[in-house]
Amino acid sequence: MSYDSQPPTPPPSPSSSPSPRRFGRGNVTVTVAVAALVPTALAGWLVWQAMSGPGDSDPPKVVPLPGQSQSQSRSASSPADAKPSAPTTPPAATASPSRTKEEDKPVATAPANGPLAGKVVVVDPGHNPGNFRHTREINRLVDVGTHRKECDTTGTSTNGGYTEASFTLDVSRRLRTLLEQQGATVKLVQNEDRPYGPCVDERARIGNEAKADAVVSVHADGSAVGNRGFHVILPALVKAGAADTSKIVGPSRDLGTRLAGKFVQATGSAPSNYVGGGTGLVVRKDLGGLNLSTVPKVFIECGNMRDPKDAALLTDGGWRQKAAQGIADGIGSYLNG
């Protein structure tokens, strides 16, 4: 998640009450009654209905909520590409709930056979746990094609102090294992093996240089309490400076739509009730990780860390395994056609 032009604030302590996050560039807060949440079965139907929308060659459209402008319908915290409130010190140490120990394991070699044999997948765990200690470095500006943006951001956290960077690494490691078991060659953009970053332009370059068949950037949002559900961010049609997404808009929409449908099936989570108009799909043109990609790429915001009900899911290891499975199933569906 990221915040456009917001001076960073450290993640809240467990005793602090959540303050509403900025929604895009405005201060719009969407309150949705629990009774209005889309039931899981209907949510899945809505996501798959997205597949009958614009053709792959058509630039997808953001579907703003009633009364919103398109800019207001943007995520309150997009993945790492806009300025967060970077604290000067790391958050208080808290045990990551149900964390895996995959960081202590050697990287497995993909089997020679399997449904994804010969496919290359790049998994991009949003942010980096070390970003909190390197605010000067991550705040430097880099070229994202359409304009210049901060190198990276710190991400958000739950009210209990579980950071987005910890969440994204855990889900990404689980995802890597699932994909490798199906024969895919998987590369993590970062595995807590560097002090900070990488910057958003380098994240895109890693996928490009790997000639990846698909790239997925894993995130969790930091919106207001009551805003629930996941959404997948698709690249807009952008041709400016170093950015040209014309060849990846269609394939990325196919990847994102399949991913959203499989995520509903695996997790039981509904699409976002605050962006995407119930489809779970949002289009953005301001993210360097998408603008600079030359291979199919999407971002997924798995839930809202600042909502207590979503946070309960995001901090549960069993649910994170379901999330990884849903993402893996979506990638597999896309790669297998």
Query: pLDDT tens, 7-17?
Result: 343 444 444 44
Look up residue 308 and give its two tokens: 């207590």
Report pLDDT for 113: 85
Residue 47 inside a domain? The answer is no
Give the dihedral of Cα atoms 127, 13, 228, 36; nearest 10 deg: -170
CB 165 within 8 A of CB 126: yes
From first CA to last CA, the distance across the chain in angstroms is 29
Determine the 3-state secondary structure of 245 from DSSP: coil
Give the rounded distance of the alpha carbon of 168 from its chain centre: 8
Look up residue 311 and give its two tokens: 């946070």
Report pLDDT for 74: 38
When mean pLDDT is compared across 104-118, 180-194, 234-248, the lowest value belongs to 104-118
CB 324 within 8 A of CB 168: no
CB 190 within 8 A of CB 151: no
DSSP state letters, 33-91: -GGGSPPHHHHHHHHHHGGGSS-TTSPP---PPTT--TGGGS-SS-SSSS-----SSPP
Q: What is the per-residue pLDDT across 310-335, written as a single tens digit (0 to 9) for each?
A: 999 999 999 999 999 999 999 999 99
Does the global pTM surpass 0.85? no
Taking the CB of residue 222, how many other CB atoms lie within 10 A of it? 29
C-alpha neighbours within 13 Å on the C-beta side of residue 148 = 5
Residue 6 inside a domain? The answer is no
Count of domains observed in the chain: 1
Per-residue CA distances from 228 to 97, 122, 193, 247, 319 (Å): 20, 27, 32, 32, 15
Residue 13 inside a domain? The answer is no
CB 144 within 8 A of CB 236: no
When mean pLDDT is compared across 45-49, 143-147, 188-192, 322-326, the lowest value belongs to 45-49
Q: What is the per-residue pLDDT across 82-103, written as a single tens digit (0 to 9) for each?
A: 434 434 444 554 444 544 444 4
Q: CA 252 to CA 215: how far, in whole Å?
A: 9
Q: What is the mean pLDDT of residues 240-260?
A: 97
Q: How confident is the model at residue 142 (pLDDT cuts 50, 70, 90)?
A: very high
Q: What is the mean pLDDT of residues 121-127?
A: 98
Peptide bond just before 8 cis, omega within 30 deg = no
Query: How open is the CA angle 175-122-214, to the nearest 5 degrees?
Result: 100
Q: What is the per-residue pLDDT across 196-242, written as a single tens digit (0 to 9) for each?
A: 999 999 999 999 999 999 999 999 999 999 999 999 999 999 999 99
Task: Write out the E strands in the chain.
Answer: 120-125, 141-143, 148-150, 185-188, 214-221, 231-235, 239-240, 243-244, 281-284, 297-304
Task: For residue 213, give the DSSP letter.
Answer: S
Residue 35 inside a domain? The answer is no
Q: Taking Cα atoms as reference points, which of 186, 156, 208, 202 lies closest to residue 314?
A: 156
CB 205 within 8 A of CB 217: no
Q: Which residues pair with 231 in a beta bridge?
A: 301
Residue 102 inside a domain? The answer is no
Q: What is the mean pLDDT of residues 108-115?
A: 70
Q: What is the per-residue pLDDT across 55-83, written as a single tens digit (0 to 9) for each?
A: 333 333 333 333 444 333 334 444 445 43
Q: Is 180 a catalytic residue?
A: no
The domain that holds 280 is classified in CATH as 3.40.630.40
Residue 256 inside a domain? The answer is yes
Residue 92 inside a domain? The answer is no
Range of the domain at 208: 59-86+114-335
Q: Which residues pair with 227 in a beta bridge?
A: none
Report pLDDT for 34: 33
CB 285 within 8 A of CB 279: no
Residue 237 inside a domain? The answer is yes
Q: How confident is the model at residue 165 (pLDDT cuts 50, 70, 90)?
A: very high
Q: Of 164, 180, 202, 301, which is the active-site residue? A: 301
